[in-house]
A and B are shown apart, each in its own frame.
Chain A
Amino acid sequence: MIEIGRLCLKIAGRDAGKKCVIVDVLDSTFVLIDGETRRRKCNILHVEPLKNKVELKKNASHEDVKKVFEGLGLKTRETKPKQKTEKPVKKKKVSEKKKDVKKKTGKKKETKVESTLEDKAASAKKEDKTASKKTSEQVKK
Chain B
Amino acid sequence: MQSGELAAIIGVNGIGKSTLIRTLANMQASLKGQILINSKPLTAYKTAILAKEISVVLTNALVSKNLSVQEVVTLGRQPYSNWIGSLKKEDKQKVNKALDMLDLQKLAKTPCYELSDGQLQRVMIARALAQDTSIILLDEPTSHLDLYHKVQILKLLKSIAHDIQKTILFTSHEIELALQLCDKMLLLNNNENPFGKPDELVAHQAFENLFPKDTIVFDTSTGAYRIKK
A is bound by B: no
